[in-house]
Structure 1
């Protein structure tokens, strides 16, 4: 028979029991705090993403070089085309890739029409020269006749003067009648007038003959110029190289019929190269002749300057030329592909961040990191370069932002990075 439970009772230390209660209370408080933190954290970051799936960059202060990245190719600074001076059949003396020298005959145009014109004009010039010689003979003959008439008039005048002197002497001695005396006076007057008119006619005739001879000479000279021009055109049918270099492209086939000013071939001057760059038209207003450009050719970087800018836009691009010192390189080739940076502006001590895909969202906002929490904030960007972008507002130095693509964050104000 069990009387009571006294045999099962154990005495408890009140001090030990109080310590256990304190520990339990502390653990409960910590649990409540963690639960609250998890609750509020979950309420502020409703989504989470893997940190390794995003790119993070730190905002810095430093120099920013505003530039344009463009691709291009090596082109000859001097690559003239050869044109046909006249219509005819072309004979090519070179092939593509052949080396040529200045004044070397690279092609000959056979123009039967031009050759026939030259023969006709030479014949016409010979005829005019013969006509000029005939006119010279006629002029000499007419001059002789006029001189003869003048001499006869002079002789008649002298005879009339002698007869007049005899008449005067005879009249004094009453040897002749008054009628004979007056006749002698009239003969002298007539002879004097005839001699005077003969002199004037000879002078006028000589001037007329000289004018006709000069006109004939001018006609011959004009025809000579026509013949010389045709000879010049025929001489230019032998087309000469204008540079020392190589033949680039043949633009016609041998013995092809070409028209005047048709392109025949391209010559390439290998002594000077330039870089031809295609720049997006959005940067057209920023370009200026003389700007520095960094060119990368076969892994080597060279500095050059913009030498020309096309005034027109083709396929939404502007073509520019960059001159550089090619003595630092060897083995460069025509049409070799290169890349370049056109340096537009150098800004010192600006707030900047590494350029990334986040700019595709417009560049008006970014996700700033605060520990593991990314929060969307408004920002304002300025000048951009190939690697960096200027920050005008919204961020401070040492801030960290996500610079990768924001497509998966659309509609999210904050999120957690695991």
Structure 2
């Protein structure tokens, strides 16, 4: 008997269309896709609910907090200026005659310009004539004082002689009276004559003293008037001498502000002189760093060739203009050769170095000064109190509020309008 394959066959149940298994196999992948979409929507809704506003990341700048050394320095571009560059002025109105032109090298005391002022020269002549008259009066007063003292001494001497004569007459009458040859009345008359001579001597001595004092006072007053006029003449002479403008030092003529053979008013600028042996560097420093600058603070100057030179702060302006303070830096050692007016130089002033501190890139959030910063939590910027320390041009120290690795919105946070949470897309 031949066996067939019927023993190997198994009965398989087939599901009919529309059953549960057939439905699952058909919709399982679309269902999974729908679940992913719902999860994304839920995540977006959760982020939107947690942030009151949303901004694009291109509108802000985010920096990471790190630990390291913070070097506080000031870097600025400066220009070379002459430390000594006075402008000479016309001391009086007159016609100017220039002896030099701009750019001429001059020596100390060299004539630069001459101002012709007839009014000032005439005033000098008048004051000198007045001085001559007062000096003559002073001499005459001194002579009168001498004559007065001589006459007073003459009167005193005459009174002294009369007193001596009266004393001798009294002695003679006294001897005659004692011998009985002279009556008592003559003796009494001689005694009265001595008293009169004594009184005349005392008065003559007092007159001599008083007349001498009066004569001395008159002579002194005349002498003081002459001295006062002598001072006036010296001042006018100084003004006349100042009509000739001379170089105050060895240097170079700068800008000439007067025109040849023109009439200038008093105190009008004529020309400037530049001292080529003493240059300084003028820099502009932000107002926030100005309080840290001090005269004598070391600096490094770099020329266009890259060669560094040692320098130090020589002056800091007390005035703030357009948020900046003007400072001057002088060369600590011998200044380099070949410097020119208005030449550009780079200046770096080292303030101090803070070791191992929390720091972050400096941005506008430092100047806002609210005491808060936006720290990133995923894609959400959370407003958090942050205490800042000192700052340099590129970095700022953080004292508290964040940890190393945190990210802070350093620029663009002014768009958030002090919102507590902001979404960054």
TM-score, normalization: structure 1? 0.68
The offset of 1:299, in angstroms, is: 4.5
Q: Where does structure 2 lack aligned partners over 5 or more consecutive residues?
A: 1-27, 45-60, 414-420
The offset of 1:302, in angstroms, is: 4.5
Q: In the superposition, relative to structure 1, how do residues 196 and 341 fare at CA in structure 2: closer, same or farther (>3 Å)?
A: closer
For 2:140 and 2:367, the matched residues in 1 are separated by 92
Q: In the superposition, relative to structure 1, how do residues 56 and 162 fare at CA in structure 2: closer, same or farther (>3 Å)?
A: closer
Whether 2:352 is the aligned partner of 1:306: answer no
> Is this contact kept in 2: 1:272–1:326, CA < 8 A?
no
Match of 2:283 among 259, 262, 277: 277
Match of 1:75 among 71, 81, 101: 81
> Is this contact kept in 2: 1:307–1:321, CA < 8 A?
yes
For 2:66 and 2:330, the matched residues in 1 are separated by 35
For 1:257 and 1:225, the matched residues in 2 are separated by 29
Whether 2:199 is the aligned partner of 1:198: answer no
What residue number does 2:190 align with?
A: 184
Whether 2:231 is the aligned partner of 1:232: answer no
User: Matches of residues 67-146 of structure 1 in structure 2 within 5 Å?
Assistant: 67-146=73-152
Q: In the superposition, relative to structure 1, how do residues 231 and 414 fare at CA in structure 2: closer, same or farther (>3 Å)?
A: closer
For 2:367 and 2:146, the matched residues in 1 are separated by 98
> Is this contact kept in 2: 1:379–1:393, CA < 8 A?
no
For 1:116 and 1:305, the matched residues in 2 are separated by 51
Q: SS at the partner of 1:118?
A: helix
User: Matches of residues 9-408 of structure 1 in structure 2 within 5 Å?
Assistant: 62-291=68-297, 293-300=299-306, 301-302=308-309, 304-325=311-332, 327=334, 329-350=336-357, 375=379
Residues paired across the two proteins, number: 379
Q: What RMSD, in angstroms, separates the aligned Cα atoms of the two structures?
A: 4.8
What residue number does 1:14 align with?
A: none
> Is this contact kept in 2: 1:65–1:385, CA < 8 A?
yes
For 2:213 and 2:424, the matched residues in 1 are separated by 111
The offset of 1:349, in angstroms, is: 3.7
For 1:253 and 1:59, the matched residues in 2 are separated by 64
The offset of 1:136, in angstroms, is: 3.8
Q: SS at the partner of 2:284?
A: strand
The offset of 1:389, in angstroms, is: 6.4
Q: In the superposition, relative to structure 1, how do residues 38 and 305 fare at CA in structure 2: closer, same or farther (>3 Å)?
A: farther
Deviations 1:151-190 (A, max 9, x none): 4333433333333333233333433444334333333333
Q: In the superposition, relative to structure 1, how do residues 144 and 58 fare at CA in structure 2: closer, same or farther (>3 Å)?
A: closer
Deviations 1:291-330 (A, max 9, x none): 5545443142555443322111223322122233574744
What residue number does 2:10 align with?
A: none
TM-score, normalization: structure 2? 0.68
> Is this contact kept in 1: 2:131–2:226, CA < 8 A?
yes
